[in-house]
Structure 1
Amino acid sequence: MIAVFLVCLLSWCRSSAVATALPPPQDLTMVAINTNYTLRWNYKQSAALPNQVTFTTEFISKYMLTIKKKPPVWKPACKESPEHSCELTSFDLYYFSIYKLRVRASVNGNHSAWAFKEFCPDKDTGIGPPSSVKLTLAGYSLEVSIVDPLTSTNSSMKDYMADLSYNICYWERHEDEEALIMETISTNSNVVALSGLKPLTWYCVRVQSYTKYYNRSSSFTSPLCMKNDGHAPCWQILLIFMAFLVIVVPLVVLLAVGSFRCSRFWKSVFHPELPSFLIESRRDSTGGRSPQLITMSIESERLCDNMTVCPKSSVLETLSLLKESAAPPLGLNPDSRSLKVLHICF
């Protein structure tokens, strides 16, 4: 009976000593980049305590602590975890709110006092570097394509930081690091062309995110290097010239032929040619021959009673009539002979 009493008394004393000696966590620190949040702390474990110490982490909005009508309800984040950290990213903390965090240590049902930490994502969160950076050739320049830092839900950090900008640092690659001359461009654009570069030269680029409003900047991305283009090579010029010959020249020829045929068609419609026997070639003042219409004198107009246009089949008949009428009647001179009928055959 006395032995049982002594055992109980020893157990109670031991538990009291553990409870008294169990210290709270210390140096609570929030490691926050973009919207990824991790609470870390230190814990000095006494040699008299058991090796296994667990920790419980809880959080609550600071606004909820100001409500007096009902007691605050703390939300558990990590419960009885042996780790000296707790991940809070999955709880989707509102970026522009203020939170109260608390952590305590536990051993065999005994708990330490709470250690508290106030956290405001808007003020206490750091900014990460760009999610990705790519280099591409753009003529004789290098084009830098930047992807914004991303949140835990893969959205842009520009949703929370409207003035998010970038420092682009580039330099000509040298084996001697002391000879490096770095140049920096500040921009809020996601695509930037680096101009004024030397042809056929290797350049390296790294990018840093920063915001003036919060006065924060990220680390630089890993350097990316690419060789800049020089003047176009001969084979490329020859290829462009051949493409020009294959595509442009046939189009010009077809256009010229089509224009010529169209002009001949419209000329035949609006300016038809007269039969050759109605056109008389007359020498002009320069000695050349220009086509002229046959002119009829007043005297010959009087001698013609009528004109008939006949088909080709009556050519012989027309010629015979003209021969018979060629001899002048008695009492008329040759110049005064009259033609009763003039046949024109085609």
Structure 2
Amino acid sequence: MARRLQALLAGCLLWSAFGIVPEPKNVRMSSVNFNNSLRWDPPTFHKENITYTARYVSSVSENIMCKNIVNTECDFSSLIIYGDFTLQVRAESKNEESDWVNITFSPMDDTIIGPPDVKVKSESGSLHVDFTGPFAVHGLEKWPLKTYYGSWMYRVLYWKKTNSEEVKTTDAKYDSEILSGLDPWTIYCLRVQGISPEFNRTGELSEEVCDSTTDNGITPVWIIVTALLISMLLVVVTIPVCFFTFAYMYQQARYVFCPTHSFPQHLKEFLNKPSYSSQFLSPQTPEEDHSYAKLTVISEESENYSNETSNTKEQLPDYQEEIPIAEEGSAFKK
């Protein structure tokens, strides 16, 4: 504590006596996906109206990126990604300035590879995983980092949600991967990171994503039994319903098209016979040939009289009437 107070006191004396501007403190580079930002802290002792200048120096060129700025941050995203650079920053106050504070920076080696975007879809007992990014954004343009690093793959770490200690890994060379051989109806969680084997770079892990597997194509026994029971129940219920419905429709159709009240049989026979009167009233044509036989009709009075006067039969005339009778096959029938 005493040494710190002594250093502060010495700084104040130098600032007052010689007018030396203190250097910026804690100079550092923040770079994610080639979005580069040089940052620093203000000097311990400084006057008001202090400004800063930042630049880069390489083996072939140097260029000032920020001049006389009041902020403690300067954007270096326009640096080419291949090569090594020396980044410098200093503090200024009026016509006085501090010494340069230097740090080295190599974008390909020092930038942080961010996490990719991950989407998971459960299908047929497996998890289908899709990857996108990470991207380097420069203005309105967006470029995948794998186009810069050449060799690229995604590493997938996955585990059961109930057992996070047992983690499995698999590497995917393309933008999608299918995690198979998983337990059905189980929740799995996963995280993904980008890897460049050529540059020996490993990216940050994505956020944890969880999803449940479904049926793996092998139908469980309890599902089969349940389906059979439901089918049998439907059959037991459907057959009686269909039977009674058909019977009811049959009865209704029979009542409409085949009524139960039929015409009396004797009236049917009577109406089917030809009319008698028409046979006698209609005139006979010469072509019609009718044969007749003789029919003798004896009245009761004549029979009694015959018995009483049997001895005088020769003297009394018989009460007889000859009526023509149509022979078999003629039009008249009694």
Q: Give the whole-Å Cα distance in 2 for the aligned partners of 1:18 and 1:62.
A: 38
> Residue 33 of structure 1: CA displacement?
2.0
Of residues 186, 189, 192, the one that matches 1:201 is 186
Shift of 1:40: 2.0
- What does 1:229-268 correspond to in 2, within 5 Å? 229-230=214-215, 231=217
Q: 1:160 aligns with which of 138, 144, 148?
A: 148
RMSD across aligned C-alpha pairs, in angstroms?
2.8
4+ long deviations beyond 6 Å: none
CA contact (8 A) 1:207 1:221 kept: yes
Instruction: Give yes or no for the alignment of 1:138 onto 2:135.
Output: no
CA apart distance, 1:171: 1.0
Q: Partner of 1:41: helix, strand, or coil?
A: strand
In 2, the alpha carbon distance for the partners of 1:19 and 1:59 equals 29
Given that residues 123 and 213 in structure 2 are in contact (C-alpha distance below 8 angstroms), is that contact kept between their aligned partners in structure 1?
no
Deviation at 1:75, TM superposition (A): 3.0
Alignment-mate amino acid for residue 160 of structure 1: Y
Identity percentage of aligned residues: 27
In the alignment, structure 2 segments of 5+ residues that lack a partner are 1-12, 229-334
User: 2:19 is paired with a residue of what secondary structure?
Assistant: helix
Counterpart Cα distance in 2 of 1:77 and 1:18: 32
What residue ranges of structure 1 are gaps of 5+ in the alignment?
Answer: 1-13, 65-73, 239-346
Distance 1:52 1:160, change over 3 A: same
Provide, for residues 140-199 of structure 1, a one-character-per-residue CA deviation record: whole Å limited to 9, x for no partner: 21011011311123111111111222220111112xx6x642111122221100001111
Cα 1:16–1:194 change in 2 (3 A) is closer
- Distance in 2 (CA, whole Å) between partners of 1:170 and 1:15 is 59
Measure the CA separation in 2 of the matches of 1:227 and 1:115. Answer: 53
Aligned partner of 1:100 in structure 2 is: 86
SS at match of 1:128: coil
1:297-340 CA distances to partner (integer Å, 9 max, x unpaired)? Answer: xxxxxxxxxxxxxxxxxxxxxxxxxxxxxxxxxxxxxxxxxxxx
Residues 25-36 of structure 1: matches in 2 within 5 Å? 25-36=24-35
Aligned counterparts of 2:17 and 2:184: Cα–Cα separation in 1:
73
Residue 67 of structure 2: which of 79, 102, 105 is its match? 79
Structure 2 length-normalised TM: 0.55
1:15–1:181 CA distance, 2 compared to 1 (3 A): closer
The one-letter amino acid paired with 1:161 is Y
| 1:53 is the counterpart of 2:41 | no
Matched, 1:220 2:217: no
Contact 1:19 1:111 in 2 (8 A): no
Q: Which residue of 1 aligns with 2:22?
A: 23
Residue 214 of structure 1: how far off its partner (Å): 2.3
Give the AA of the match of 2:148: Y
| CA shift digits 1:241-300 (9 cap, x unpaired) | xxxxxxxxxxxxxxxxxxxxxxxxxxxxxxxxxxxxxxxxxxxxxxxxxxxxxxxxxxxx
> Quick check: 1:113 aligned with 2:99?
yes
Which residue identity lines up with residue 65 of structure 2 in the other structure?
A
Name the CA distance, whole Å, in 2 between partners of 1:148 and 1:227: 25
